């Protein structure tokens, strides 16, 4: 009798490269295994012969890449006997932490900046029944508080300063190499706390390293390109900044937690950082939706804004294979999407055939 195979999540898939044992209880929502989609129309619009792929991490169970790290962090927290997790968040980490805590049957506390997280993320976190603590301050202030309170209360921090988060997230690089057959030439990412760029760089490096248990999968590593929002760009300033501002609220971060590791990734890979205005980020988000049918949240589009800019300028040469990570799904932030489409609001007409026919013919 044939036994059907079910995808059971990234820990099972990459178990031998992750810090779990045969008896570890895995807390999973079947995260990972996200599609790597080749763009068909945007390279033509750019007029450049490049292969651009997007790694659509918005198709994870809670709609963002955070689930990769959270399955590991919560699995390890539960293994260590923890009954509660805590994070500071610009929204996606809180949604993911809340979901995995629900799955594990433990408590989640999330600290969020009041009024500065996207609607979808708030809705999710409420539904997963986390305890939400809104602060009158930004993410960086919340992160500082989380680090302090963890010394005073029995809670495990599941921000990306938790090394298990990085281990889970590195599996995205494994999937890309497994899908493409090799590493891309360039890998473009939005950068906030810089946990994700750190994780990808770790994953790419592990696939080039041979150990007792693994031969090297490839000898190639990509150039790592980290892109920030202009109003929240500490890597461009060369120092932490205190009042980050951007419409891409996910990356409204001035004190990145993985500062040194992100600089190492940039230097070791021969990569660079750059920054883009909110208008440029939103234009990339709209372009991807309009010309490819792929709807990501604003922060995620920063990777594409950067890639397109560097392809146009020739910094990324023709003939290159480029992967852009789309970190979160567009439905996370319906407000920003609707606001930027003011010029294409729905037509409102009478419910009759002639009116519908006229509406169609007028628009063609």
Binding site for ligand AN7 (CB under 6 A): 64, 89-93, 160, 190-196, 250-251, 297, 299-300, 327-328
Least distance from C-beta 92 to ligand AN7, angstroms? 4
Q: Which residue number, 92 or 320, has a Cβ lying nearer to ligand AN7?
A: 92
Three-class SS state of 276: strand
Least distance from C-beta 187 to ligand AN7, angstroms? 13
Least distance from C-beta 241 to ligand AN7, angstroms? 15
Least distance from C-beta 22 to ligand AN7, angstroms? 30
Q: Which residue number, 242 or 318, has a Cβ lying nearer to ligand AN7?
A: 242
Least distance from C-beta 192 to ligand AN7, angstroms? 3
Three-class SS state of 286: helix
Q: Which residue number, 92 or 138, has a Cβ lying nearer to ligand AN7?
A: 92
Least distance from C-beta 220 to ligand AN7, angstroms? 23
Q: Quick one: which H or E segment has residue 227?
A: strand 223-229
Q: Which residue number, 48 or 257, has a Cβ lying nearer to ligand AN7?
A: 257
Q: Which residue number, 103 or 116, has a Cβ lying nearer to ligand AN7?
A: 116
Q: Which residue number, 66 or 221, has a Cβ lying nearer to ligand AN7?
A: 66
User: Which residues neighbour 25 within 8 Å (Cβ) at sequence distance 6 or greater?
Assistant: 75, 78, 79
Query: What is the C-alpha to C-alpha distance for residues 335 and 324, in angstroms, rounded to an integer?
Result: 24
Structure tokens at 57: 């991490």
DSSP-assigned states of every residue in 329-345: BGGG-HHHHHHHTGGGP
Three-class SS state of 250: helix
Query: What is the C-alpha to C-alpha distance for residues 55 and 332, in angstroms, rounded to an integer?
Result: 17
Residue-wise burial string across 320-343, b where 16 or more C-beta atoms lie within 10 A, e elsewhere: bbbbbbbbbbbbbbeebbeebeee
């Amino acid at each position: 009798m044939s036994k059907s195979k079910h995808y059971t999540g990234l820990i099972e898939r990459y178990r031998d490269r992750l810090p779990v044992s045969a008896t570890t209880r895995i807390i999973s929502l079947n995260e990972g295994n996200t599609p790597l989609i080749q763009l068909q129309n945007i390279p033509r619009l750019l007029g450049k012969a490049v292969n651009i792929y997007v790694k659509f991490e918005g198709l994870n169970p809670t709609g963002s890449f955070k689930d990769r790290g959270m399955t590991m962090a919560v699995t390890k927290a539960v293994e260590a006997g923890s009954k509660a997790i805590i994070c500071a968040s610009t929204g996606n980490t809180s949604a993911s932490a809340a979901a995995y805590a629900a799955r594990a049957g433990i408590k989640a506390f999330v600290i969020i900046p009041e009024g500065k997280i996207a609607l979808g993320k708030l809705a999710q976190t409420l539904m997963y029944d986390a305890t939400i603590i809104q602060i009158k301050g930004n993410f960086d202030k919340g992160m500082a508080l989380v680090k302090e309170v963890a010394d005073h209360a029995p809670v495990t921090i599941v921000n990306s300063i938790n090394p298990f988060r990085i281990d889970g997230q590195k599996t995205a690089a494994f999937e890309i190499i497994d899908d493409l057959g090799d590493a891309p030439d360039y890998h473009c990412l939005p950068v906030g706390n810089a946990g994700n760029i750190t994780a990808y760089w770790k994953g790419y490096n592990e696939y080039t390293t041979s150990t007792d248990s693994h031969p090297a999968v490839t000898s190639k590593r990509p150039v790592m390109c980290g892109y920030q929002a202009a109003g929240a760009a500490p890597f461009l300033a060369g120092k932490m900044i205190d009042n980050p501002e951007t419409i891409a609220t996910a990356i409204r971060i001035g004190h990145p937690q993985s500062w040194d590791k992100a600089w190492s990734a940039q230097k070791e890979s021969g990569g660079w950082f750059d920054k883009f205005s909110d208008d440029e980020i939103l234009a990339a988000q709209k372009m991807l939706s309009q010309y490819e049918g792929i709807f990501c949240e604003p922060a995620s589009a920063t990777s594409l804004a950067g890639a397109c800019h560097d392809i146009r300028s020739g910094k990324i040469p023709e003939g290159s294979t480029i992967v852009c990570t789309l970190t979160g799904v567009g439905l996370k932030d319906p407000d920003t999407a609707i606001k930027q489409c003011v010029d294409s609001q729905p037509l409102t007409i009478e419910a009759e055939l002639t009116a519908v026919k006229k509406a169609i013919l007028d628009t063609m």
